[in-house]
Amino acid sequence: MKLKKIVKFEGKIVCLTGLCIGGTNNDINIGGLDKEVIKNPVTNEPYIPGSSLKGKMRSQLEKKIGKIDRNPCGCGQKDCDVCLLFGAHRNPGAPSNPTRIIVRDAKLSEETKTLFQSLPAERGSYLEFKGENSINRERGTAESPRFFERVPEGAKFDMEILLQIYDRDDEDRLLNAVRQSLELVELSYLGGSGTRGYGKVRFDYEEGEIDI
Ligand SMILES: [Zn+2]
């Protein structure tokens, strides 16, 4: 089996609602944030880890083809789009190997950095801070406030996904599986608290072929 070509899915991940992804719980620090956004330790800019996007694409595709289990699919069959694209879970000798897809970390776009830096100083942060309460239904009072950090709506991240196609692969099938998994993430969410409105995203991308 020989590597035939690579298809690059390149573009932007656009946040249509606030995004809270990949952070740590900071509950030791009293008065601190309950949920933080993951950031590049050098630049302090938020980013979307490739592992988070890949994991979400995978789990959405698993739902679509009916492979829902407690663990990711590890069947390793040559006709399993999930194992072909994302790798057979805990099955290193799987016939479906090697993993066809590479999902890069998505950095904050230059356009978004420039936009945020142009905001007034007190708002010149890449992040918003959101407080949420639980409502006591008997008393009608707000209780136990929690504080979240979010990437604000409108932020854009640089997207790069590479699909490696081998000579014996069904190219159209693999391409369609990638497109479909991205579409299914758009119809779901990225990061945490998606059922409460966070993490709606759109993928604006183009596909380019690289012959090798
Ligand atoms: Zn599988």
The reported pTM is 0.86
Sequence-distant (6+) residues with CB within 8 A of 113 are 45, 126
CA–CA gap between residue 189 and residue 202 (Å, rounded): 10
Q: Structural domain boundaries of the chain?
A: 3-203
CA–CA gap between residue 112 and residue 94 (Å, rounded): 41
Place of tokens 């159209």: 172
Q: What is the distance in angstroms between the CA of the first residue and the CA of the last residue of the chain?
A: 14
In the three-class reduction of DSSP (H, G, I as helix; E, B as strand; rest coil), residue 124 is classed as coil
| Cα-to-centroid distance, 55 and ligand 1 (Å) | 14
Of 83-87, 151-155, 179-183, the poorest mean pLDDT is in 151-155
| Cα-to-centroid distance, 150 and ligand 1 (Å) | 34
Q: Label residue 79 left, alpha or beta by phi (over 0 means left) and psi (-120 to 50 means alpha).
A: alpha
Ligand 1 ion local residues (Cβ < 5 A):
73, 75, 80, 82-83
| Cα-to-centroid distance, 82 and ligand 1 (Å) | 5
Average pLDDT over residues 14-25: 80
Average pLDDT over residues 55-65: 92
| Cα-to-centroid distance, 137 and ligand 1 (Å) | 45
Quick one: 72 exposed, middle or buried, by C-beta within 10 A (0-12, 13-18, 19+)? middle
Q: In what order do the strands lie in the sheet with 101-103?
A: 101-103, 156-166, 3-15, 201-211
More confident residue, 68 or 65: 65
| Cα-to-centroid distance, 115 and ligand 1 (Å) | 42
| Cα-to-centroid distance, 101 and ligand 1 (Å) | 14
| Cα-to-centroid distance, 170 and ligand 1 (Å) | 16
Average pLDDT over residues 80-88: 95
- For residue 34, the model assigns a pLDDT of 55
| Cα-to-centroid distance, 7 and ligand 1 (Å) | 22
| pLDDT of 77 over the 70 cut | yes
More confident residue, 141 or 184: 184
| pLDDT of 27 over the 50 cut | no
CA–CA gap between residue 13 and residue 95 (Å, rounded): 33
More confident residue, 133 or 209: 209
CA–CA gap between residue 45 and residue 151 (Å, rounded): 10
